[in-house]
Amino acid sequence: MFLWLYLTPLLLLIDPHACTAQECAEFVDLDLSHAFIGTSVRVRLLLYTSEKGMCGTLMSHTDPTAHPQFNTSRLTTFLIHGYRPTGSPPRWLPTITELLLARTDMNLIVVDWNNGAATLNYFKAVENTHTVADNLTAFLEKLKENGVSMSSVHMIGISLGAHISGFVGANMNGSIGRITALDPAGPQFTGTLLKDRLDPSDAQFVDVLHTDIDALGFREPLGHVDFYPNAGTDQPGCPKSILSGSSYFKCDHQRSVFLYMESIKRVCEHKAYPCESYRGFLDGLCTSCERFGDAGCPVFGYDVTGWKDVLLKLNQTKTYFTTNPASPFCMTKYRVEVMIWNKAARWGRLTVKLHGADQEAVATIDHAAFEFKRFTGTRLLAQFDKDVKSVMKMSLKFSTGNVLQPKNRLRVLRVRLTPLEGRERPLCRYDVVVEEDREVTFRPLPCQDSNF
């Protein structure tokens, strides 16, 4: 702590223009020429509040209270970007700024370290994260002196910004209220010591989203709760070929920001399920939420603090959910139980459709072939692309993929459809014959108690 008192005057000199007032300060826009040459670290703090809306104010590093719209009693949120190899401002920055301001009354501080992040030398950008973190630590000490509670500080870090948040949190002895890490950077951080990356001790609560663990992101859990949409790897809707250009490299990584923005806006809810593996989650082995009490499984995103107390008790929780290729990204999950009365077992995959008054939702359960046995319930996780509020009809299609073999027939004794994310009663249908590769449609009814 005493070390920071001596270092603060030097650290605050990183941006010599930080005290200069200007109207509607904007994020520094650099170009590829700057990236080729490389840029030295210069930290700019852009303040946004409900009073001035999308008009940013360049803050003083030495006197935060010099800005009348900065209210020490509000929540203070820091938004910290990551590596900028081309020097351009993040395209999502205006949208997330607007969404955060609309969500709650806060001091929103956009940390512009484009000078330092704009370089083709990624290793230099990684090195610069420590300088940025030291600067922010000095600024937070100034906030403390002016009565800002560290519990009211929320840092949202993207990629390298996630580890910057962690370094600041460690410097502040874990007193920061919350760190949200959106696909924390993996290269140069994987396999390092705790002090050299984000970890749960860096804040009172750390929530992490992983969307690109097989390339630019960090694979292992880093927070009190870690979310892995679509296993944290290939995100639906992202290009599969290098012919798509730069989007092929950054789409999975950036999806973390777009998923988080959707949660701020409350477009829909991503309920996430704790599980040992993504395969186990897809197999429907992890649909229980009992450990979280009446609140159920945690919802990914801005509102996960509603589960903070129980998640802290559980120490570290790894969760999974799936998404659609585009917004709205949320999928609706049901447990499907199928019991057959064929004498011989059948192996295959199912496609389930739900029909409402004016919409149709589809769930294709094809990540593996499942065994259906006589008088034995086979449980499957069905994830639908839309939420059908009132199911009027249901369709089933059974397939084996065996083109050269005779077609099978699935004689269904009972199919039971149970919503995992609502309070509606399960729906059932009894005695249905499903021809292979032919869709059969029927009207389900509320399930009745029975002996099977």
Exposed, middle or buried: residue 349 (CB in 10 Å: 0-12, 13-18, 19+)?
A: middle
* Residue 199 assigned ligand-binding role: yes
Interatomic CA distance for residues 52 and 63, integer angstroms:
19
- Catalytically annotated residues: 159, 183, 253
The three-state secondary structure class of 100 is helix
Cβ–Cβ < 8 Å for 211, 229? yes
Interatomic CA distance for residues 166 and 197, integer angstroms:
6
CA atoms within 13 A on the CB side of 46: 23
Interatomic CA distance for residues 380 and 275, integer angstroms:
15
* Residue 294 assigned ligand-binding role: no
Looking at the DSSP bridge assignments, the partners of residue 209 are 182, 227
Cβ–Cβ < 8 Å for 208, 183? no
Strand-pair category, 206-209 with 225-229: parallel
Interatomic CA distance for residues 379 and 370, integer angstroms:
9
Q: Which residues of 3-12 are buried (b: 16+ CB within 10 A; e: fewer)?
A: eeeeebeebb
For residues 310, 312, 314 and 316, what is the CA-based torsion angle, rounded to 10 degrees? 130
Interatomic CA distance for residues 412 and 374, integer angstroms:
9
* Residue 42 assigned ligand-binding role: no
Tokens of 167: 């370094």
Q: Which residues are annotated as a binding site for Ca(2+)?
A: 197, 199, 202
